[in-house]
Structure 1
Amino acid sequence: MVLLRKASPADTPAVGDILSEFIDTTPWMPRLHTVDEDRDFCAGLIAEGVVTIAEDAERITGFIALRGDEIDALYVTRSARRQGIGSQLLNHAKTCRACLELWTFQANASAIRFYRRAGFEEVLRTGGQDNEERLPDMRMRWMRDAQGQEARS
């Protein structure tokens, strides 16, 4: 069973390691920062109070960073993927907001499929000129309608 809770500073190493694992196991993703810098980035998100983690009895398995209506990060450790953890984190965010937006890289086909299944639609594509990695990316949006149902943007 996976439980969701607000991240605390003590969670920083595990959260940073999940981010680093994604970078290190994704062939198209450039490594621009050290593992310590990844942890520092995650520590900043946790200090802002915007990170919710998923954990099972043994470890932290994923996290989401939600600033307002913006999903800044959603990662699940490689060994826990395809077990519903990402969906659980995303559904938690949906209960908090009527609209959610995010950026994902166009090369991340599995994330795009995941978000589309969750009701997100593409609203913009860029060549990556505005992201640090300089990779083509995509803006996606999910909205709830006035009756509280998921709506297409």
Structure 2
Amino acid sequence: MPRKLPDRDELHIWREFIEATEALRTRVTGRLHDDTGLGAGDYTVLLTLSEAPDTRLRSSELATRVGWERSRLSHHLGRMERRGLITRTGAPGDNRGALIVMTPDGGAAFHAATIPHLRVVRELFVDALTPEQLTAAGEIAAALRDRLRDR
């Protein structure tokens, strides 16, 4: 039995969702870069490293946590390494693995970016929604993430 396609109203909601999330992402990442000099990818990597023990992770674990393909991560880490935000060292006990470590400059850049970034999140996302809408947005995001994870 063929799957039912979205109807006109469902497609309208889908378009609204896609257009709004893309506009939000563009504005937030643009402000992050303008205010701090960090791109969204930089901030994502630094945030993930900041949450890791000793601000270091194996590259494979970092790729999993940020949800990127390893080749994309490798190229991005090269750019971050040239800017002094991270270093790559050999992983203990594994000649093939790399350990990604946040440098002091990377930590300083991350900490300097956090407050401006959170202000933009508050301004463009949190303050645009009622408390009920914010709760619903969280539930919707969790449901979508769970559905995609199950597939």
Same fold? TM cut 0.5:
no
- Greater percentage in helix: 2
TM-score normalised to the size of structure 1? 0.27
Considering only CA atoms, is the larger Rg found in Structure 1 or Structure 2? Answer: 2
Higher relative contact order (CA 8 A, sep 6+): 2
